[in-house]
A and B are shown apart, each in its own frame.
Chain A
Amino acid sequence: MSQFLNDYIKVKKHNFRVGVKKARISKSCYLFLAPYAIIFTMFFVMPVVISIFFSFTYYNILEAPRFIGLRNYISLFLEDDIFLISIKNTFMIAILTGPLGYIGSFLFAWLINELPRWVRSVAVVIFYAPSIAGNCYVIFSVFFRGDSYGHINALLINWGIIDTPILFFTNPQWMLPICMVVILWMSLGAGFLSFVAGLQGVDKSQYEAGYMDGIKNRWQELWYITLPNMKPMLMFGAVMSITQAFGVCDVTMALCGYPSTDYAARTIVTHLFDYGFSRFEMGYACSIATILFLIMILCNKAIQSFLSRVGT
């Protein structure tokens, strides 16, 4: 045992020395990396660490943080009904719009890929525009306006389906579905671009070979040739859509108001903003952030291990 331990330490020491030597040779590499690394650590790594730390404390910016153990988490899950609503809403949005948006991105990228070149570039602009147009979703608030001047209400009244306008963004029954539609409309994002580019990069000779091997239609071609070739892009797209699906807040806040009626459109991020920037209970908000962080990372890992089996 001690022999093994000694060897182990010796190897580690040797590796360390080699590492130091290598690091000394590649000094300029570190110089190049340093500016980015410092800012990245400061605003992306540190915040996560700080937020995990503060999630175990009571902190309101004015007083020094006070350690209270797991009490934040306990009250989140046992006492805070609104948080449970927000979790329910977030998961509903994520489970519906995440996979649908992801599959949609791939489907449209794949269909667009069949088009001739110039049609394809126009189509990519049209499909990608909603997600890049930023705050354009606000226009839906005019479109679904609660009075009879809104298009949807006017249409429904004209057709005689309803006689009083529906308050789309005040009635809890309608809030989430409409938000989901808007989110789906915006969901062809970076993942979609990655798919379009990836599909163009698939080796054409593989399709010819597949044709010789007896592939009969485009669905078989998709499953046996295209998907296995696209695995890295599929991973990238999955990361993008999961991150987007759980981070929903802009759309719900802009359309349904903040806070929304009956908290019917409250998501985890909205809850986080409420406690962080309205009530300044930073400790509590940090525990929400930590939970969101864990959900996102775990989901991503799970989906990645699932996707690595595609086409096999």
Chain B
Amino acid sequence: MSNTTNNTTENNNFEFENGDVMNEGFQESFDSESGDVYATEEFLEDVAPIAETAAAPVEPLIQKPEKKKKKKGDDEEESYHKPIIKRRKPNRSIAGDIFLYIFLLIVACLMFFPIVYAVESALKPLDELYKFPPRIFAQNPTLDNFSDLFVTLSKSWVSFGRYLFNTVFITFLGTAGHLFLASMAAFVLAKYEFPGGRTFFKIVTVAMMFTGYVTGIPNYIIMSKLGMIDTYWSIIIPAFASPMGLFLMKQFMEGLPTSLIEAAKIDGATEWCVFTRIVMPNVKPAWLTLIIFSVQALWNNKASTLIYSEEMKTLPYAMQQIQAGGIARTGEAAAVLVVLMVVPIAIFIFSESQILETMASSGLKD
């Protein structure tokens, strides 16, 4: 027992020493009494609130290391820090936390409701879509709308499968090319100093500040001069150079240790070798981020201005057409919506932690 009390005071001392700024009273008492912290009244007044919260983690602090020592023994550092992290955060009231949870729950329901509603609409048979009063959840959910997409549209001029193929093709090629080219450019911009590099990056940052709509018309003129109107390339090639991807990739690559590259160079690697074997495998989280943003842009690309042939149109355009089909097609329109929505959301769910890791370096410094 005496052992544990000793531990307690030690731990307390440790906590206080760690605090960046100490109260003056505390400082004095600490100096004069040389370690015996509980001596002066002055100190007690000043430090009482801190001492209370500091006392809370004391118990686990004593117990846990002993438990761990039996198991592992040697990593004391880790086992010491864990209980502190588990403690309730300072400056948080319980009432505030409850309010926070309720508020977030309500907002999350509101935010997610339209998506649930879209999925439910896609599952409703036609007679339920036009019930009065309308219901949100389907009573007899069917997958008829999805199969209808393929069956009824296969009789039309351009089948649903073709629209799907167009979108997948554009998204896949565009994303792959974008990932590759943007990483190449980002690598040299992040890791080497060369004349023009910084200026170029600044221009890219400015390009993030205006939407694609500004460049829509000149793009059309350039495309027609290049003879790329009405081909897949008119969508794919501009997507290669999306400024957002380069920006994120460059910011992330700056966090990569330069010594890694230098070491590879000393071992005789060429630039290309460094890029493909050292840099690219190390920035995998950023890959996923680039992929998600590129897919998001391309998957929803209507491509209505640059592509005229019906058999080359994309899925979002098809959705517009189906919607224009009126009441009879409502269920199918919702089904396309679900197809369109599932892919980006699924990619995001599977790569969330990596994306957040990349976005941590997304800050814009001036």
B51 contacts chain A at the CB level, 8 A cutoff: no
Question: Quick one: given A39-B237, A197-B357, are A138 and B323 in contact (CB under 8 Å)?
Answer: yes
B194 and A29 form a contact (CB under 8 A): yes
In the bound complex, residues from chain B placing their C-beta under 8 Å from that of A126 are: 108, 111-112
B48 contacts chain A at the CB level, 8 A cutoff: no
B114 and A44 form a contact (CB under 8 A): no
B209 and A300 form a contact (CB under 8 A): yes
Question: Quick one: given A51-B218, A276-B216, are A216 and B91 in contact (CB under 8 Å)?
Answer: yes
Question: Quick one: given A36-B240, A151-B134, A190-B293, are A201 and B112 in contact (CB under 8 Å)?
Answer: no
Q: Which of B136, B208, B330, B364 contacts A243 (CB 8 A)?
A: B208
In the bound complex, residues from chain B placing their C-beta under 8 Å from that of A276 are: 216-217, 220
B365 and A114 form a contact (CB under 8 A): no
In the bound complex, residues from chain B placing their C-beta under 8 Å from that of A213 are: 20-21
B355 contacts chain A at the CB level, 8 A cutoff: yes
B181 contacts chain A at the CB level, 8 A cutoff: yes
The docked-state distance in angstroms from the alpha carbon of A185 to that of B104 is: 15
A194 and B218 form a contact (CB under 8 A): no
The docked-state distance in angstroms from the alpha carbon of A26 to that of B238 is: 27
Chain A residues 12 to 40 lying within 8 A of chain B, measured CB to CB, are: 19, 22-23, 26, 28-30, 32-33, 35-37, 39-40
Q: B89-123 CB contact bits vs A (8 Å, 1 = yes)?
A: 11111001100100110011001101101100100
Q: Which of A139, A158, A232, A292 contacts B364 (CB 8 A)?
A: A232
B195 and A23 form a contact (CB under 8 A): yes
A208 contacts chain B at the CB level, 8 A cutoff: yes
The docked-state distance in angstroms from the alpha carbon of A233 to that of B133 is: 46
The docked-state distance in angstroms from the alpha carbon of A32 to that of B279 is: 13
In the bound complex, residues from chain B placing their C-beta under 8 Å from that of A40 are: 204, 207, 241, 243, 246
B366 and A247 form a contact (CB under 8 A): no
B348 and A235 form a contact (CB under 8 A): no
The docked-state distance in angstroms from the alpha carbon of A166 to that of B219 is: 40
B337 and A51 form a contact (CB under 8 A): no
In the bound complex, residues from chain B placing their C-beta under 8 Å from that of A188 are: 111
B111 and A129 form a contact (CB under 8 A): yes
One of A2-10, A81-89, A117-125 at the interface: A117-125
A133 and B221 form a contact (CB under 8 A): no
The docked-state distance in angstroms from the alpha carbon of A209 to that of B18 is: 9
Smallest CB separation, B297 vs chain A (Å): 9
Chain B residues 337 to 363 lying within 8 A of chain A, measured CB to CB, are: 337, 340-341, 344-345, 348-349, 352-353, 355-360, 362-363
B355 and A193 form a contact (CB under 8 A): yes
**Which single residue of chain B is at the shortest CB-CB distance from A214?**
B21
B356 and A124 form a contact (CB under 8 A): yes
Q: Which of A26, A124, A154, A231 contacts B352 (CB 8 A)?
A: A124
**Which single residue of chain B is at the shortest CB-CB distance from A38?**
B241
A149 contacts chain B at the CB level, 8 A cutoff: yes
The docked-state distance in angstroms from the alpha carbon of A40 to that of B239 is: 9
One of A69-77, A168-176, A282-290 at the interface: A282-290
**Which single residue of chain A is at the shortest CB-CB distance from B186?**
A36
A272 contacts chain B at the CB level, 8 A cutoff: yes
Smallest CB separation, A64 vs chain B (Å): 13
Smallest CB separation, A254 vs chain B (Å): 8
A127 and B115 form a contact (CB under 8 A): no
B203 contacts chain A at the CB level, 8 A cutoff: yes
**Which single residue of chain B is at the shortest CB-CB distance from A21?**
B195
The docked-state distance in angstroms from the alpha carbon of A29 to that of B274 is: 13
The docked-state distance in angstroms from the alpha carbon of A96 to that of B207 is: 24
B286 contacts chain A at the CB level, 8 A cutoff: no
The docked-state distance in angstroms from the alpha carbon of A269 to that of B305 is: 14
Q: B216-250 CB contact bits vs A (8 Å, 1 = yes)?
A: 11111110100000000000011011011010000
A223 contacts chain B at the CB level, 8 A cutoff: no
B300 contacts chain A at the CB level, 8 A cutoff: yes
The docked-state distance in angstroms from the alpha carbon of A146 to that of B217 is: 34
A36 and B132 form a contact (CB under 8 A): no
**Which single residue of chain B is at the shortest CB-CB distance from A254?**
B320
Question: Quick one: given A239-B209, A292-B214, are A36 and B182 in contact (CB under 8 Å)?
Answer: yes
A218 and B91 form a contact (CB under 8 A): yes
B303 contacts chain A at the CB level, 8 A cutoff: no
A264 contacts chain B at the CB level, 8 A cutoff: no
Smallest CB separation, A220 vs chain B (Å): 8
**Which single residue of chain B is at the shortest CB-CB distance from A131?**
B296
B192 contacts chain A at the CB level, 8 A cutoff: yes
**Which single residue of chain B is at the shortest CB-CB distance from A152?**
B134
A197 and B356 form a contact (CB under 8 A): yes
Q: Which of A47, A108, A218 contacts B92 (CB 8 A)?
A: A218
Question: Quick one: given A32-B185, A236-B363, are A297 and B209 in contact (CB under 8 Å)?
Answer: yes
B185 and A133 form a contact (CB under 8 A): no
B115 and A235 form a contact (CB under 8 A): no
A149 and B211 form a contact (CB under 8 A): no
In the bound complex, residues from chain A placing their C-beta under 8 Å from that of B115 are: 129-130, 133, 136
In the bound complex, residues from chain A placing their C-beta under 8 Å from that of B222 are: 42-43, 46-47, 50
Smallest CB separation, A112 vs chain B (Å): 7
Additional A-B contacts beyond A29-B188, A50-B222, A212-B22 (12; CB < 8 A): A26-B192, A26-B193, A28-B271, A35-B240, A135-B319, A138-B333, A138-B337, A142-B121, A143-B114, A198-B363, A276-B216, A285-B217
- Which 7 A-B pairs give the minimum distances between C-beta atoms? A232-B363, A247-B211, A47-B218, A134-B300, A47-B215, A36-B185, A197-B359
Interchain residue pairs with CB less than 8 A apart (18): A32-B185, A39-B237, A40-B207, A44-B207, A61-B224, A134-B299, A135-B337, A135-B341, A139-B117, A143-B117, A190-B293, A190-B362, A196-B359, A208-B90, A243-B208, A289-B217, A292-B213, A297-B209
